[in-house]
Structure 1
């Protein structure tokens, strides 16, 4: 008969289990090789990205991205749900850091503050359904917009209310939607970008001025410089013609009264040159003054 073992009398040992918290995945995919829907979608995305620095020139604590993956959970990585927003902005972050994508756990838990999805007939249901729910319930992104670059009347937007629920934004008289986080209007603009004429989604400042693309800003500066040069040239010609006329009047009729000189200063160069012939034809300063009117 086998002897019985008294387990209670045996010395107890403590099992040591090595445990560490589950860490986020480190091998992430940042390019699925899939392009945007169309060339117009690509241009629309780049127009928003490239124009934003003009509106944010007084700060660098932001990051703007487009068609980039946003990783926010291990489950998302396991499900291989990689596709990110077409355009997004995160505020209060180091904007000088180059990023392949937006990895929430590497950004101190920060999610985008503004998201824009560029819809197409094949993505509209997802953009206004599943993605909208994710941006509202998981990301808590304050401002979310959708727009189809081939449908000028498709712009829609939502803003998180005090209960963290999306409420539809009401457009102003121009059909623009206010973006509270950026302090900008988001609206349509008809024109040519990258040689493609269409109705594009653009930013406007608080006063309703179009936020320019870099090339538009450069052209505006060039136009202003040319205008200033032409103005300076015209002023130089006007001053030269004025001096010539005053010398002629002084030679023929003596001292020119200040009131007459003041009236002449208000005239352009062409009119002053015409008055040289008048000054040569009249017999007195009084006759010349009468011809001024």
Structure 2
């Protein structure tokens, strides 16, 4: 019988705060992008149990980020237990490299994901090394084959239907080069707060355009304010922009 006394927390934090932020950016942006979907599970820094021997020896810590497609999106999972998930393994995995884990992520773990998990897409990225992104796609005959980058240096994840690439900007007050998803059109997959800010900026620009158009038509500031349900001060401020 499979073991039932599984441990899901080893008490070890991620390598650095930037590793934690990178993992959360990937999780939160994908969940926001797939808000209407219910047939997937995304996890981060979670144990994956795949055999009784491995569970007994506790010799494997889970990926930093992984996605399993065509499964129930159950947020109460403490980890991913393959024998409780109809034998399903992750379809896509990202490991965030560090100086202490790089050899294992590119060696033992890569072989495990290729030969046991048979994970379709595997990516690695070092949050403190800008040009460290690498990726492999599983070929049924040849095993993992390197994914060729596009002109921007992004790598295509066929399992997610998204590009995996780098993005320079500020997240949680840390200005760095981050690992992000991009859609087929090349747009960065937004975090919820980025999407909210984008909508707010678009709405403000639309108001500015409307104020400018009405003033150009000869309406007074008072008339424009009344027409757009704005205060006179707001119209005056927009007029100066």
Selected match of 2:159 from 181, 194, 208: 181
Relative to total residues, which structure has the larger strand share, 1 or 2? 2
Match for residue 99 of structure 2 among 82, 107, 121: 121
Aligned pair count? 220
The residue number in structure 2 matching 1:44 is 22
* Structure 2: gaps spanning 5 or more residues: 221-241
1:204 match: 182
State which structure, 1 or 2, has the greater radius of gyration over its C-alpha atoms: 1
The equivalent of 1:169 in structure 2 is 147
Shift of 1:235: 2.5
- After TM superposition, the score normalised by the length of structure 2 is 0.88
Comparing 111-120 with 224-233, which one deviates more in the overlay? 224-233
Deviations 1:248-289 (A, max 9, x none): xxxxxxxxxxxxxxxxxxxxxxxxxxxxxxxxxxxxxxxxxx
Gaps of 5+ in 1: 1-22, 243-293
Tell me the residue number matched to 2:2.
24
Bigger relative contact order, structure 1 or 2 (CA pairs below 8 A, ≥6 apart): 2
Shift of 1:124: 0.6
| 1:3 paired residue number | none
Aligned-residue Cα RMSD (Å) equals 1.4
Q: Match of 2:217, SS? A: helix
**8 Å contact from structure 1 (residues 140, 164) kept in 2:** no
**Structure 1 consecutive aligned stretches of length 4 or more whose deviation exceeds 6 Å:** none
Instruction: Give the equivalent residue in structure 1 for 2:138.
Output: 160
**1:62 and 1:197 mapped to 2: Cα distance?**
31
Which residue matches 1:215? 193
Aligned partner of residue 121 in structure 1, secondary structure? coil
